[in-house]
Structure 1
Amino acid sequence: MPTDPAPLLDPATVRRTVLPNGLTVLVRRDASAPVVAINTFVRAGYFDETDDVVGVAHVLEHMFFKGTPTRGVGEIAKQTKAQGGYLNAHTIYDHTSYYAVLPASGFAEGLDIQADAYANSLVDAGELAKELEVIIQEAKRKLDNPGAVTVETLYALLHDRHRMRRWRIGTEEGLRRLAREHVAGFYRTYYRPSATVLAIVGDVDPDDAMARVAARYGALADGAVPTDRGPHEDGAPGFRYRELAGDVQQAQFAFGWRTPGTRHDDTPALDLAAAVLGTGRGSRLYRAVRERALAAHVGAYDSTPTELGVFVVHAEGDPARLADAARASWGEVLALRADGVTRDELARVQRIAEARWLRRLESMEGQASWLAEWEALGDWRLGEEYRARMLATDADAVTAAVRRWLDPDQAGVVVYRPNAAPAVAADATAFRALLAAPGESVARARYPIVRQGAPAHNLMLPTRPSAATPR
């Protein structure tokens, strides 16, 4: 058993405070650059939307910086830029995150701006009407993204009840039904101190930063925040297949399986398995599919938005080679189950993971988001625990997790082909037969494993603990 690695962030450098109103504040001084990042992490996303207001969390994200009683439309961004900074935001299944990155000299003003937006967003009806048109165009552009259509259709195929099944940005029809009361109601319900983590990292004095946070956020009223995120799945899905055709040039396919959430014991092993399959030129899928020109792109990942996950193998390429690419990819998953993961493969992906994690934590913004994400799951130190679990995961554990979760009889498959291309399969039974049929890719090439030396002792957390995009 390897010794535990030194922590990536020294716990002594992170100050954690919970204000009386429930707001969790994390402050870390990093004087390596005269920069500060402020991350407002609200535990409210697509999973918190009821079916009648799908997309409202993302709409609120757009409205968050649209104005307050003391800052008009455009002033929040303008004043942030005047301090030499920038701001942005994103919404995903389990949270919405707002962040600003500024010179350290602009910290006080930047915090004032972020606090004002968090506590006093107006959600003006006129601005909402204009912004909804922008969001509807964003939704239409997403429909023109074959990869997004393929993957989100896969999520819908795999889930009958869970809110993971829904088109997460919302549809044009549903977005047009949203009114100010829906957006403002979501804001009042979920944007409460006890559902929020504020992370500040940079060249700041922790005592001064905490005093400023207490002054600006301490008087905010808390309230009960709903915890119901809708129904969960019952039973196993069985093998499922869906085929789409559209105005696209390349063909796509995605295999997927239901997997457990971020904190499950098997999740580190599944992350490593996905990397063995799909990360880098040494991965199994790259060598079996990409190097043989069966597809232009291929990869794998395990996405874990809090309480559930989805393991995905996704490829894009020439429609004429779709069947061979699918057989080759499917064969790699079956081989992983049958033969297991080697120690050399495990060492390779651990080293890749280490480099990515370290790169992320080089920036103030990366540190602040990492702290906030794990704190939202219960404690920011869970990130270090996850890292230790990955370090303790051996090849046998990865193989066991693959056999537990990547059952060929419980997979979902989505194919998205050009209108002009012939149909691939009539149904799930026909597609299973296609996977078993002879073809160029059936005889799996056995590639030597390049030795990478001893397993790394500093492992990387996936890009974020509930990532919904390939890592």
Structure 2
Amino acid sequence: LLFGFRTPAINHADVPALDLLAVVLGQGDSSRLNLEVVRNRQLATSTSAYLFSARDPGLMVVAASLPPGRVDDAARVLLDEILRLSHEEMAQEELAKARTILESDRVYDRETVQGYARKLGFFTAIAGDANFEEAYLASLQRLTPADLRRVAARYLRVSNLTVFAQVSESHPDRRRQRAEKTATRVRRVAEVAEARADARFARAAAVSAQTDRMVTHVFPSGLKLLILRDTSVPIVALRATWVGGLRYEDERNNGISNMLAVLLSRGTKTRTAEQIMHQVESMAGSIAGYSGRNSLGLQAEFLSRHLERGFELVADCLLNATFSEEELEKEKRIILDDLRAQEDNLGQVAFKLFHSGLWKHHPYRMDPLGTPESVAALTRRKLVYHFRRHYSIKNLTLAVVGDVDPSRVIAKVGALLGNASESEIQKPAVLPEPATEGARQIYRFMAKEQAHVVLGFPGVTFANPDRYPLEILAHVLSGQGGRLFSEIRERRALAYRVSAFSLEGIDPGYFAVYVATSPEKIEETIRSIRQELSRVVEEGITADELARAQRYLIGAHAIGLQRRSAIAAALAFYEAYGQGWRAYRLFGDHIMKVTVADVARVARKYLDPQRELVAAVQPEVWTPGAARAAARAGGRAATSIGRSQESFPSGATRRDPDSSFIPR
């Protein structure tokens, strides 16, 4: 199925905007058509979009391959996505991603003499100007979301549409007739879709001028409420967030934040755990507590028609959680089993070891799950005391995203939580970790046929602008085709897993490289990592590497924010951490502002060999010193060096393309 929209000649001022619209629609895995038509709805096996520009007027083509029986449904969804561009302004982040794709394509075209010659010949013959690309790229940079919406409204209309259908039919005459009937039917679908889109967006604009605009409200109790209306689907997501989590723990109560999070939705003064479960299921929703290195809170999601009941349940959990002895004992047994299971995950053991060496005093050194001793010692009295001491409605941030009326949400939250009066809370003094000098290596010896290594350096906070060039650097090093991946895994076959990442927090985190390798290759692997890090410090990265990393990070960020619950989380965290809710929309802008020089600067600043920490988990004989001693002793096991046979706390985990236990 092909949709063709007539477009102007290559020299027309609207061509750069049309190119961007084609990229947004149908180029790349994160394009709108691929996400909605192929992945979410599964109505087509593939989709694409491109702009054909020439000396004479051209064509924007949208294509889809699909089963014969799904033509009408697929056409309807395709057209809904196309027509959205005429009515909604895309996010700056999505525009930046499309712009990066177009710019990088043109950079790659200049990589070879042949490509550059083709480019010059084409622009001279077709555009009449060998330097046409300079003006084109400058136009790309000036375009805004409003410009793209205006251009889409001008060209992406049914009156400007040609439909072509290719069908499966062996007989030529019947094939032609069937194709014409299909195209005619799709044309009618298009007309209905356009009328529906015009009516829907006109109605949405009339109903509320607050759609896609943040509404903020601070109640007398101190509660901060953020509301982002999104009427595209009848869902509402909530995220209630307190600053705290692991940062508010010590060795005696380690794991208490995780336990509080689990039990927040396991019973209140008026609802048992089973009653909460049944009520949530009746709203086709979910509710759960969460905790991490920097926060504690409650998340919920339900159909928007259950707004009143959903908010009442959330408020009940926040205000009246009982942390019952029965539920506490059940969860203790589960967590203790989880802690024992950690010993079988050598990657997690390596990160626990790394944390214990990087932080000697800061709470980040501890495992968010706790230790067997601290978890076993938790009581209901301790839970209630800790919760009341550190967490109150007055220091809560609540984000609501979805199909809601902001004034109705403010009224409901105000009635439930707005006037809650509670005692003053206490914020523990979290002292900064003292700086350390000199490279260090720590080991844990385990009778396993693997070696896991974390090599890292002290890093930055959420608020530090260096986090963005560090994100670029991490992707250049370890993304698919990254330097570490290519050198250590592909070319030299030293490791079967390698990744690099920057981990931030309210307090400084770290930049680290993680590898899983064979014990006999550990020294060579560590040496290779240091060589690659040294090379990036001395030589920096290339413009092509920067462009690829920017394209990937912006796309991945956009994909990660597709769900309303993800947006609610971003709003709540950024606001609670002091950066302001607008920060979630600025990630793409910050990434696009990073230069090659910025990456070189942060590499020199943070990849300091004198501040390096290596944490390794491996069989005892394969530690570097022990291996050399064993060789001198004729193969006998050498005396242990470093730390051994200790219990090392880990960090909570986040998902990573190469590792499921990278901490956050």
In structure 1, distance between residues paired with 2:582 and 2:376: 42
Alignment deviations for residues 413-439 of structure 1 (CA, whole Å, 9 cap, x no partner): 0111146x5333359x99xxxxxxxxx
SS state of the match for residue 425, structure 2? coil
2:309 maps to 1:104: no
Which residue identity is paired with 2:609?
A: P
CA contact (8 A) 2:243 2:577 kept: no
Identify the structure with the greater helix proportion: 2
Tell me the CA shift for residue 86 of structure 1. Answer: 1.8
Corresponding position of 2:339:
139
Corresponding position of 1:216:
416
2:507 maps to 1:304: no
CA contact (8 A) 2:219 2:419 kept: no
For 1:399, which of 597, 600, 609 is the aligned residue? 600
2:474 maps to 1:269: no
Distance 1:305 1:410, change over 3 A: same
SS state of the match for residue 131, structure 1? helix
Corresponding position of 2:613:
412
Alignment deviations for residues 30-49 of structure 1 (CA, whole Å, 9 cap, x no partner): 11111111111121200111
Tell me the CA shift for residue 387 of structure 1. Answer: 4.0
In structure 1, distance between residues paired with 2:529 and 2:476: 13
Corresponding position of 1:248:
448
SS state of the match for residue 557, structure 2? helix
Corresponding position of 2:396:
196
Tell me the CA shift for residue 78 of structure 1. Answer: 2.2
Corresponding position of 2:485:
286
CA contact (8 A) 2:262 2:288 kept: no
Corresponding position of 1:335:
535
Which residue identity is paired with 2:367?
A: W
In structure 2, distance between residues paired with 1:189 and 1:3: 52
2:375 maps to 1:175: yes
Question: TM-score if structure 1 supplies the norm length?
Answer: 0.86
In structure 2, distance between residues paired with 1:250 and 1:289: 16
For 2:269, which of 56, 66, 69 is the aligned residue? 69
For 1:388, which of 581, 584, 589 is the aligned residue? 589
Tell me the CA shift for residue 195 of structure 1. Answer: 2.3
Tell me the CA shift for residue 132 of structure 1. Answer: 1.3
Which protein is bigger by CA-based radius of gyration? 2
In structure 1, distance between residues paired with 2:481 and 2:305: 45
Distance 1:216 1:312, change over 3 A: same
Tell me the CA shift for residue 6 of structure 1. Answer: 5.9
* Mean Cα deviation higher: 246-255 or 266-275: 246-255
Which residue identity is paired with 1:235?
A: A
Which residue identity is paired with 1:417?
A: Q
Q: Can you give the 5+ residue segments of structure 1 that lack an aligned partner in the other structure?
A: 431-461
CA contact (8 A) 1:300 1:470 kept: no
Which residue identity is paired with 1:203?
A: D
In structure 1, distance between residues paired with 2:355 and 2:591: 26
CA contact (8 A) 2:468 2:594 kept: yes
Distance 1:69 1:470, change over 3 A: closer
Which residue identity is paired with 1:20?
A: P
Which residue identity is paired with 1:36?
A: V
In structure 1, distance between residues paired with 2:244 and 2:573: 12
Question: TM-score if structure 2 supplies the norm length?
Answer: 0.62
CA contact (8 A) 1:346 1:395 kept: yes
CA contact (8 A) 2:339 2:371 kept: yes
CA contact (8 A) 1:84 1:106 kept: no
Which residue identity is paired with 2:214?
A: V
Distance 1:4 1:256, change over 3 A: farther
CA contact (8 A) 1:261 1:307 kept: yes
Tell me the CA shift for residue 3 of structure 1. Answer: 6.6
Alignment deviations for residues 149-168 of structure 1 (CA, whole Å, 9 cap, x no partner): 11121111012221222233
In structure 1, distance between residues paired with 2:392 and 2:522: 48
Distance 1:383 1:93, change over 3 A: same
For 1:321, which of 509, 521, 542 is the aligned residue? 521
Tell me the CA shift for residue 29 of structure 1. Answer: 1.0
CA contact (8 A) 1:41 1:97 kept: yes
- Say what the alpha-carbon RMSD is for the aligned residues: 2.5
1:45-194 equivalence runs, <5 A: 45-194=245-394
Which residue identity is paired with 1:301?
A: F
In structure 1, distance between residues paired with 2:144 and 2:523: 44
Corresponding position of 2:644:
none
Corresponding position of 1:35:
235
CA contact (8 A) 1:197 1:372 kept: yes
In structure 2, distance between residues paired with 1:296 and 1:302: 21
Structure 1 vs Structure 2: percent identity of aligned residues?
Answer: 27
Distance 1:40 1:469, change over 3 A: farther
SS state of the match for residue 255, structure 1? strand
In structure 2, distance between residues paired with 1:365 and 1:192: 23
Which residue identity is paired with 2:272?
A: G
Which residue identity is paired with 2:487?
A: A
Which residue identity is paired with 1:190?
A: H
CA contact (8 A) 1:301 1:470 kept: no
Alignment deviations for residues 90-140 of structure 1 (CA, whole Å, 9 cap, x no partner): 311110232112122222212111110011001122321222112211222
Tell me the CA shift for residue 222 of structure 1. Answer: 4.0
Which residue identity is paired with 1:413?
A: V
Tell me the CA shift for residue 386 of structure 1. Answer: 4.8
In structure 2, distance between residues paired with 1:470 and 1:159: 14
SS state of the match for residue 398, structure 2? strand
SS state of the match for residue 122, structure 1? coil
Distance 1:249 1:107, change over 3 A: farther
Distance 1:404 1:212, change over 3 A: same
In structure 2, distance between residues paired with 1:249 and 1:203: 53
Tell me the CA shift for residue 286 of structure 1. Answer: 0.9
In structure 2, distance between residues paired with 1:72 and 1:235: 48
SS state of the match for residue 500, structure 2? strand
In structure 2, distance between residues paired with 1:176 and 1:52: 11
SS state of the match for residue 286, structure 1? helix
Alignment deviations for residues 197-217 of structure 1 (CA, whole Å, 9 cap, x no partner): 111111111111111111111
Distance 1:121 1:77, change over 3 A: same
In structure 2, distance between residues paired with 1:3 and 1:165: 47
In structure 1, distance between residues paired with 2:365 and 2:440: 14
Distance 1:164 1:238, change over 3 A: farther
Alignment deviations for residues 211-264 of structure 1 (CA, whole Å, 9 cap, x no partner): 111111112124433333432222334211111122434211010111121111
Bigger RCO of structures 1 and 2 (CA < 8 A, at least 6 apart): 1
CA contact (8 A) 1:80 1:86 kept: yes
Tell me the CA shift for residue 5 of structure 1. Answer: 7.2
Alignment deviations for residues 327-382 of structure 1 (CA, whole Å, 9 cap, x no partner): 22221111111111211111111111111111122111111111111111221113
